[in-house]
A and B are shown apart, each in its own frame.
Chain A
Amino acid sequence: MKLLPSVAFNDFSGSAGNVTARKTGDRTVLSTRTKHSKKKTTYQAATRCRFADTVRGYVDITEEQRQGWISLANNLGSYHTSTGKEYSMTGHNLFVAINTYRKICGKPQSDIAPPELKPSNYIRLDDWWLTPEHIVLTGLGEKENPNDVLYVEMYVAQSPAESNCLDKTVLVAICPNTDWGDIDLTNAFIEKFGTPLKIGQKVYIKICWIDSECGYIKYYSLIGRNAQETSIERNAPYFPRAKITIDQIDAIDEDSLIEYFDYEISPGSKFTSNEIVSRYFEGVSAGCNFLHYGLLDVFEFERSYQYSRGTAEMGYQIQCTEVLIRNGFTNMINLSCRTGGLPRHFETFGTYYITQ
């Protein structure tokens, strides 16, 4: 809402067309009616639709439910707008606000007022990359509240001269979990903004933990940095985790199929923790081989001897299976049974030393 000094309407209050006049102290203030932006993007349409649905939802709840929201709003007291005006939160406003956040976080509308409201919280960060290829934040830690999700807004300055961008961020991602403290926003960024980052572009990120059940945005971390080739905190080149997932494998060959693959190396000296499910189509197999595209060249020959078992239909029989990751000259994953034959459908999992 835009505030205009009044000269002509000293004792006038009310609306005429798109102009509203109201008395504030000994002054009359004119304001213009708020209008939607003329931009019509799918995202904006979805946002407006979500907001309109939520506003209408208040009409459909029962009187008892409405009183619950009003009671909770009354307990919140008053708040101040950016113009300094003091308002009291209404039940309607609170219903819309909380349910808007719920919908953003993927939760259904709640007709019942929650027992409490939870403000969002700051994040902590270890290191992060803002490069054209990787927008990755690390060291975010584990969420303390199981309902928390990471709420991420971003904005890319259109030119180096553009300033005051902190209020221009838009929602880019809701992350229900981190991947052991990491979040990778590369794809979400391209989906939102259409093109990858360019080196030197200034990026603003607004990020917080928010309770997806009854949270609202209050405290958040706000950072603005230029995209660069190395990490922001340690100035280190991007270094991926030593990890192979199912989407980095040619998961089927003529004899066998990988149904699940999640493999990672941890330090101390070298451990692997993994879960692999495989089946072969016919005959008896001493092993199976699959191409992978997962590891850096520094890994060459990663071998672990581990427990495996047949799946339920194979009677849960135990074997000792060698999981061998070859990397560099040939990028092969070899699964072979070291005690007899592998059942047709088996899984191997656990934490083991890697040796050469």
Chain B
Amino acid sequence: MIILNFNNFGGGSVTLKDYQSKGICVLNGKITVDPTNSAYITATRLELNLPSNFAMTKSAISTAILVSNAPIFHYGTVLHCWIENNKLCIEKLTEWDNYGNYEIYINSAFVTRGYRGDFTQTSKKNLSILNTDNLFAFNQYTYVETADYVFFVAMFLSFPLSLSQGQGPFTLQLSDFATDVNVQIPLIVTDANTPKTIGTNITVGTFENGNLTFSYPNNTSRIGGDGSFFNFFATRG
């Protein structure tokens, strides 16, 4: 765990799970942003001071997910996120500021560049969906498991749709997903028939004991379905 006590947007301390090495760092956590704070209003980007002994002072571009406080659908988008001068920097978008405090989820890897040399192929690991209710089916997925962190991106052919399956909670049961990963991740829960809005429908799920659990808000007209997906790095242990 690392604690980031200082930032430029008037937020409180932020605790992130971390894996650090010279070439790759993985961070997991949630940042709460108050868009009415005067420091936030004047900031052009969000900056959080990393510990002085953090392994990386500069990274290539990575991502974070903005989850707004918009009623029901929590519209949001993906943000640029990177490390610069020992600070965690996040792109500032103000499209959803009128809905009040919003959250930024960081479940990302940060790497350096400039390598010249040989590469090896990434080893993937197979997973199976154990659910027997036919609520879930992979379209495509990639799961990479290392001793220190995992990477998981999954797109679904079948995924709970609120119109027909209700609000949940739903649990995606997986074989062979690391049971020591405990992380909250944004789920992109929109399909081709979702009305176009500013931002995308998002709900937040939790990986714990190798399974993913999530719910949809009450009064949801249409959320979830077969275009849903997630994409994250998470530390282990």
A306 within 8 A of B: yes
A180 within 8 A of B: yes
A264 within 8 A of B: yes
Q: A interface vs B, CB < 8 Å?
A: 138, 142, 179-182, 239-243, 264-271, 273-275, 298, 305-309, 315-318, 320, 338-341, 349-356
Q: Given A316-B77, A316-B198, A349-B63: A340 and B120 within 8 A (CB)?
A: no
From B105-113, B177-185, B213-221, give the one contacting chain A. Answer: B105-113
B119's partner among A265, A318, A340, A352 (CB-CB below 8 A) is A265
B93 within 8 A of A: yes
Q: How far is the CB of B14 from chain A (nearest CB, A)?
A: 20
Give the contacts of B1-52 with A (CB-CB under 8 A). Answer: 23-24
A140 and chain B: residue at smallest CB distance: B114
- In the complex, chain B residues whose CB is within 8 Å of the CB of A274: 61
- In the complex, chain B residues whose CB is within 8 Å of the CB of A268: 23-24, 111
B62 within 8 A of A: yes
Can you list 25 A-B contacts (CB < 8 A)? A138-B116, A142-B57, A142-B58, A179-B114, A180-B114, A181-B114, A239-B117, A241-B113, A266-B24, A266-B111, A269-B123, A273-B60, A273-B61, A275-B61, A305-B155, A315-B198, A318-B77, A320-B229, A338-B229, A340-B191, A351-B63, A351-B109, A351-B111, A352-B151, A353-B151
A356 to B121, CA, bound (A): 8
A270's partner among B58, B119, B140, B198 (CB-CB below 8 A) is B119
B110 and chain A: residue at smallest CB distance: A351
Q: Given A307-B63, A315-B199, A317-B199: A355 and B115 within 8 A (CB)?
A: no
Q: Given A273-B62, A274-B61, A305-B153: A266 and B77 within 8 A (CB)?
A: no
Q: Do A266 and B93 have beta carbons less than 8 Å apart?
A: no
B95 within 8 A of A: yes
Q: How far is the CB of B47 from chain A (nearest CB, A)?
A: 15
Q: How far is the CB of B42 from chain A (nearest CB, A)?
A: 21
- In the complex, chain A residues whose CB is within 8 Å of the CB of B122: 269-270, 353-356
B188 and chain A: residue at smallest CB distance: A318
Q: Given A271-B109, A315-B198: A305 and B142 within 8 A (CB)?
A: yes
B231 within 8 A of A: yes
Q: Given A355-B124, A356-B121: A339 and B229 within 8 A (CB)?
A: yes
- In the complex, chain B residues whose CB is within 8 Å of the CB of A356: 121-122
User: Residue among B78, B95, B118, B139 with the most chain A CB within 10 A?
Assistant: B78
Known: A181-B114, A266-B23. 11 other contacts (CB 8 A): A142-B57, A265-B115, A266-B115, A269-B119, A270-B119, A274-B61, A305-B231, A320-B231, A340-B192, A350-B78, A352-B109
A269 and chain B: residue at smallest CB distance: B122
Q: How far is the CB of B74 from chain A (nearest CB, A)?
A: 12
Q: Given A318-B200, A338-B139: A267 and B115 within 8 A (CB)?
A: yes
Q: How far is the CB of A284 from chain B (nearest CB, A)?
A: 11
A243 to B95, CA, bound (A): 34
A239 to B115, CA, bound (A): 10
Interface size on B, residues (CB 8 A): 52
Q: How far is the CB of B181 from chain A (nearest CB, A)?
A: 16
- In the complex, chain B residues whose CB is within 8 Å of the CB of A338: 139-140, 155, 229
Q: How far is the CB of A346 from chain B (nearest CB, A)?
A: 11
A267 to B113, CA, bound (A): 9
Q: Given A264-B113, A266-B23, A268-B111: A351 and B60 within 8 A (CB)?
A: yes
A156 to B97, CA, bound (A): 60
B153's partner among A180, A264, A351, A352 (CB-CB below 8 A) is A352
- In the complex, chain A residues whose CB is within 8 Å of the CB of B155: 305, 320, 338-339
- In the complex, chain B residues whose CB is within 8 Å of the CB of A317: 77, 190, 196-197, 199-200
- In the complex, chain B residues whose CB is within 8 Å of the CB of A318: 76-78, 188, 190, 199-200
Q: Quick one: CB contact mask for B115-152 with A, threshold 8 Å, 1 for yes?
A: 11111111110000000000000011010100000010
A228 to B109, CA, bound (A): 39
Q: How far is the CB of B91 from chain A (nearest CB, A)?
A: 10
Q: How far is the CB of B75 from chain A (nearest CB, A)?
A: 9
- In the complex, chain B residues whose CB is within 8 Å of the CB of A264: 60, 113
User: Residue among A268, A320, A351 with the most chain B CB within 10 A?
Assistant: A351
Nearest first, the 5 closest Cβ-Cβ pairs linking A and B are: A180-B114, A273-B60, A316-B77, A350-B63, A318-B200
A340 to B193, CA, bound (A): 10
B227 within 8 A of A: yes
Q: Do A320 and B188 have beta carbons less than 8 Å apart?
A: yes
- In the complex, chain B residues whose CB is within 8 Å of the CB of A243: 113
- In the complex, chain B residues whose CB is within 8 Å of the CB of A355: 121-122, 124, 142, 144
A241 and chain B: residue at smallest CB distance: B116
B120's partner among A181, A242, A269, A316 (CB-CB below 8 A) is A269
- In the complex, chain A residues whose CB is within 8 Å of the CB of B78: 307-309, 318, 349-350
A305 to B152, CA, bound (A): 10
User: Residue among B61, B111, B198, B231 with the most chain A CB within 10 A?
Assistant: B111
- In the complex, chain B residues whose CB is within 8 Å of the CB of A306: 153, 231
